[in-house]
Chains A and B, each alone.
Chain A
C-alpha cells in the first residue's frame, strides 16, 4: 500500500492511551511491544498501520534482506542472497546506505512457520544446487514493528516461535537443511478482541505494555470519527495533506524524545516506588519492573523532561502492570485477582 493512502496517525480520534503506548514503544523499542485489547472497530489496526506516518528514519544497508544498519555486526552476510552487497561487506568496502522510515511489517493470519522464520531457498537449490537461506518475516521485521492482527487467531506454534525470537532478539533457524542465525529484534504490536478469549499468560507477559480500548461514547467525537473517515475515503490524498502538519509535529516530537531519552534521569526513590507497586500487584517475575521503568523514562522524554516524575510512574504502572498481575488462566485481566486479595 502506498504511504499516502494510510490514514494519518494524528487524525485518529481519541484512543489516547493506545496512541501513547505506541509512541512510547517507538521512543524506546526495548519496552518490547504493545498489546491492544479492544472491541471490533476501535481503530486498533488503523492506529498501528498509521504509525508508519510518524516513525523515525533509520539507516539501512541498501537491499539488505535483514535490514542491517551499516555498523551492525555482519553475521548474516556470509550466507546472504544479496551476493554483491555481502562481498563488499566481507571485503570491508563501503556499501550503499539508504535512509528510510522504520517499517511496520504485518504478519498474515495464515502465515506458516516457514514463512515466519525463513526457509531454504527453493529456486536457488534447484537451479544452482546450493543451499541458501530465504529470509522470512522475522528478518523483514528487524528494527521495525511486527504487527500481529488478531493474535489469538494465530497458530500456537507460530506464536511460540515468534515470542522466542522477540525475547532474544535473534532468530535461530534449524530446519529443512538450513542452519541460520540472524538478528531479529522488533517491537511486537498485537491486537486482540478479549471476547474471543484471553491469551496465555506467557504470551501476555512478552508484551511490554497493554492497553484496553473501547468505542468512544461521546457523540460529538463519534461524529468526528465518521466525518474524518468519510473525508478520508473520499479523498485520501487531500485528507493526508491536511493532516501532514499534525503528523509532522508528532514525528518531530518523537524524534526529540528519542534524543532526550538517554538523558532522562531517574531518582532512586522512583525505583523503589516502582518495585513496591510491582510487589503489591503481585506480578510474576521481574519483567514488569524493568518495563515500567523504561516506560516511565520514555514518558518523561515524550513530555520533554529530563526527570521522571511521579505521574510518569503512575501512567507507566497503568500501562505495564494490568496484564501482568498474577492471574490465573480464568481470571479476567485487570480483575481484582490475587493482588487485591493479598492486600486485604
Chain B
C-alpha cells in the first residue's frame, strides 16, 4: 500500500541510525542494519522513510524477483529462460522494494510455494513467489525481529547467506535470487536475537531517546505538523529529501573510485582482533562501510577517522569478551567516541548515562531494580573477577525482608542468560487448536485441517479427478493435511525455598535471592509460570500459587522473611502437592522444582521419624514422579564443617545438585535452560 511516510530528513537526531541506513543505501554489500533501542525512538519510522531516498532500479519488466536485466548471472528461472530462448526482456524502472515481513507470516509465504489458483484451475504445479523473491534487490524489513518465529528466521538466514532462495515443494524445485538488505528493529527488553542472526546484520546501532528538552520539543513540533497535514509536511521536506537522495546516488557511483589505503587494513583487523569478534564478517563490513562513508562525504580516500566512525556500528553486536556479551544498549555517546569503545572495553561504565545508577553505593532497596535494569539493558561488560570478592556485601539482618545481593556478581550470569536466551521461548508442538500455525503434515486424524495445504495437495490432480457436485475442488482423503501448531509454552518453575534461620547466615540468603531473581528474570522473558513455597518455623507455606505474574513472585521474594527452624519435609510435601494439582490441569507438563536449601531439617511432620531422615524418605518417594525435574541448590557454606545434607537430599530425589558457588557461575541457569 502506498502510504506516504514521514520524511527521512525530518527525523530529529538519531544521527548514527541515519548514518547506518544511508551507508547501506550507498553500499548494499554492507548487509543491512539492526536498530536496537527503546520504544518510541523513530526506529521503524526511519527504516520506512529510507525508501524515499533510494533511486529507482531497473528491472526486467514484470519480473517478481525484480531481476536486473543487465546482470545475467543473477536471474530468476523465468528471466533466465527468457534469455536462453533468445528473447530480449523488456525493462522498466521500479521503486526499490521494501518488503515488510509481518510477524504473522507463515513459512510458505516467506519462501514461496505452490500457486493455488493456477493449480486449482489448470491442475498445474506452478511456483508462487514469496516475500524473499519480492525483497530481491531491495530491503527486507523486519519490525520486532526478536519476536519472529525461529523457523522463519532460519529461512531468512539461509537466503541471506547465499543470496539465493531455494524452495523444494511438492515436486517443484525452484531457485531464485534473493539478495536483500536486511533491516531490523528490536527492543532488547523483549529478549535478544540469536547470535547467528545478529551476525547477519552488517551494522548495528543503538538508539535512545533524546534527553535534550530543545530537541524533544523540536521533535514534537515536527510530529504534530506531520499529523496535522501530512501532505504539506512531506512537500516541505521534499527538497532535503532530494538532496540526500542525490547524494546517495552520487556516492554510489563514486564509491568505485574511493581508495582504501593498504595501511588501514591493519587497523581494521587490529580492531576486530581486539574485540575478539567471531569470523571475518566484521572486517569486511568495516571496510565496506568506511568506503561508503568516504564516498558519501565526497572524499577520494578512506581515512582512519572513517574507520573509527563505522567500526563501532560493525563491532557492537559482534564483540565477544571472555564471556561473549550481547550488544550493550546504553550508549548514547557512542557517536562521539567510537574509538574509546572499541579500544577500551573497560571504559564502558563511564559511558553509561548518568541516570543509570552505578552498581555501588545504592541503598539496598534499589539494588534489585538496578540489577533488573542492567539485565534488561542487555548488559555489557564482563567485569573482572576482581569485583567478585566484595560481591557478598555484608548482608542485612536476616529477618529483614529484602535482603539483597550485589549486582556485580550476577553480571556474568546475566550475560549468559541473555545470550543463550536467543532461543528464548520454549516451544512445543501443541495438540490443541491454539498456537501459531507453522506448517502442515500428512495425517489421518483431522481435528485441525490445514485448508491451504490440503487444497494445495489436491490441486495438481484436479485435472484428472471428477468434479463433485458444484465444488471446484475435489479433495480426497489422502490430500488432507493437518496443521502443526507451535505454541510458546512457558515452563512451570516451582521454587522451594528454605527460609529458616540457618539460611540467614551472612551472604547466603542474599546469594540465594539473587539466584532466584536471576531465574525469575529469565522466566519473565520466557513468560513462564512460577510458584513459590517457602518453609520456615513450623511449616511450609505456599507463598505464591502458580501464576504467570513473575512480578508477584519477585515481590514475594523481596519480602520473604528468614528465620526459625526448618520443616524441610513439610516443604517438600507442600511443593509436591502443588505440582500434583498442576498435573491435573496439564498432564503433559514437565515442571521443574528448584529446591534451595542447606538440607538441614529440624522439624518433622509428626511421623515420629527424625526430621532429617523423614525428609530423605519423603524425597525418595517423590522421586517416583518422573515428570518432575528436581534441582537442589545447596546453600551450605563451604568450609571444614560440611554436613552434606543437601547432597543426600539430592541423591534421594535423583536431582541435579549444585552448590551456591556453582550457581554463581550461572550453571543453575544453564540447567534450567537445558530443560526448557
Given A205-B39, A338-B369, A127 and B106 contact (CB-CB distance below 8 Å):
no
Apart from A170-B3, A338-B373: 5 A-B pairs, beta carbons within 8 A: A75-B2, A156-B488, A161-B102, A202-B187, A287-B40
B437 at the binding interface (Cβ < 8 Å): yes
Chain A residues lying within 8 Å of B471, measured Cβ to Cβ, are: 126-127
Chain A residues bordering chain B, tally (CB within 8 A): 74
Judging by beta carbons under 8 Å apart, are A130 and B1 in contact? no
Closest residue on chain A to residue B549 by CB atoms: A197
Given A160-B144, A286-B41, A286-B216, A330 and B551 contact (CB-CB distance below 8 Å):
yes
Judging by beta carbons under 8 Å apart, are B42 and A286 in contact? yes
A275-B103 Cα distance, complex, nearest whole Å: 33
Chain A residues lying within 8 Å of B104, measured Cβ to Cβ, are: 113, 117, 157, 161, 164, 173-175
A168-B101 Cα distance, complex, nearest whole Å: 13
Closest residue on chain B to residue A206 by CB atoms: B39
A274-B224 Cα distance, complex, nearest whole Å: 13
Question: A165-189 toward B: CB 8 Å interface, digit per residue (1/0)?
Answer: 0011110111111010111000000
Binding site for A on B (CB under 8 A): 1-3, 37-42, 44, 100-106, 108-110, 113, 116-117, 120-121, 128, 131, 143-144, 147, 187, 189-190, 209-211, 213-214, 216-217, 219-221, 223-224, 227-228, 355, 357, 366, 368-369, 372-373, 376, 433-437, 450-452, 455-456, 462, 470-473, 475, 488, 520-521, 524, 527, 547-552, 554-555
A-B contact pairs, 8 of them (CB 8 A): A114-B437, A174-B110, A176-B452, A179-B109, A279-B213, A284-B40, A286-B220, A328-B376
Given A113-B436, A127-B471, A161-B104, A275 and B549 contact (CB-CB distance below 8 Å):
no
Judging by beta carbons under 8 Å apart, are A120 and B451 in contact? yes
Given A128-B472, A282-B355, A329-B376, A275 and B117 contact (CB-CB distance below 8 Å):
no
Chain A residues lying within 8 Å of B228, measured Cβ to Cβ, are: 262
Binding site for B on A (CB under 8 A): 30, 73, 75, 110, 112-114, 117, 120, 122, 125-131, 155-157, 160-161, 164, 167-170, 172-177, 179, 181-183, 196-198, 200-202, 205, 262, 266, 268, 271-272, 274-276, 278-279, 282-290, 293-294, 328-332, 337-338, 341-342
Closest residue on chain A to residue B3 by CB atoms: A170
Chain B residues lying within 8 Å of A167, measured Cβ to Cβ, are: 44
Judging by beta carbons under 8 Å apart, are B117 and A129 in contact? yes
Judging by beta carbons under 8 Å apart, are A164 and B143 in contact? yes
Residue from A196, A275, A283 in contact with B213 in the complex, judged by beta carbons closer than 8 Å: A275
Residue from B117, B121, B144, B524 in contact with A164 in the complex, judged by beta carbons closer than 8 Å: B144
A127-B475 Cα distance, complex, nearest whole Å: 12
Residue from B357, B376, B437 in contact with A176 in the complex, judged by beta carbons closer than 8 Å: B437
A76-B564 Cα distance, complex, nearest whole Å: 69
Closest residue on chain A to residue B462 by CB atoms: A129
Judging by beta carbons under 8 Å apart, are B224 and A293 in contact? yes
Given A127-B470, A330-B554, A285 and B38 contact (CB-CB distance below 8 Å):
yes
Judging by beta carbons under 8 Å apart, are A286 and B209 in contact? yes
Smallest beta-carbon distance A215→chain B, Å: 21
Chain A residues lying within 8 Å of B376, measured Cβ to Cβ, are: 328-329
Smallest beta-carbon distance B64→chain A, Å: 12
Q: Give 8 closest A-B pairs by Cβ, nearest first.
A: A285-B40, A197-B549, A287-B40, A129-B472, A275-B216, A284-B38, A129-B120, A328-B372
Smallest beta-carbon distance A122→chain B, Å: 5
Given A126-B472, A130-B117, A287-B39, A279 and B189 contact (CB-CB distance below 8 Å):
no
Chain B residues lying within 8 Å of A30, measured Cβ to Cβ, are: 227
Residue from A201, A287, A337 in contact with B189 in the complex, judged by beta carbons closer than 8 Å: A201
A183-B3 Cα distance, complex, nearest whole Å: 10
Judging by beta carbons under 8 Å apart, are B527 and A156 in contact? yes
Closest residue on chain B to residue A332 by CB atoms: B551
Given A113-B437, A329-B372, A201 and B39 contact (CB-CB distance below 8 Å):
yes
A272-B636 Cα distance, complex, nearest whole Å: 57
Chain B residues lying within 8 Å of A170, measured Cβ to Cβ, are: 1, 3
- Of B102, B372, B488, B524, most buried by chain A (CB within 10 Å of CB) is B102
Judging by beta carbons under 8 Å apart, are B121 and A129 in contact? yes
Chain A residues lying within 8 Å of B475, measured Cβ to Cβ, are: 126
Given A155-B434, A174-B105, A177-B452, A330 and B223 contact (CB-CB distance below 8 Å):
no
Closest residue on chain B to residue A285 by CB atoms: B40
A294-B213 Cα distance, complex, nearest whole Å: 18
Given A126-B472, A126-B473, A177 and B113 contact (CB-CB distance below 8 Å):
yes
Smallest beta-carbon distance A278→chain B, Å: 7
- Of A73, A182, A329, A337, most buried by chain B (CB within 10 Å of CB) is A329
A120-B100 Cα distance, complex, nearest whole Å: 20
- Of B209, B355, B549, most buried by chain A (CB within 10 Å of CB) is B209
Judging by beta carbons under 8 Å apart, are B217 and A275 in contact? yes
Chain A residues lying within 8 Å of B113, measured Cβ to Cβ, are: 177
Judging by beta carbons under 8 Å apart, are A271 and B106 in contact? no
A285-B433 Cα distance, complex, nearest whole Å: 38
Judging by beta carbons under 8 Å apart, are B368 and A330 in contact? yes
Chain B residues lying within 8 Å of A117, measured Cβ to Cβ, are: 104
A16-B220 Cα distance, complex, nearest whole Å: 28
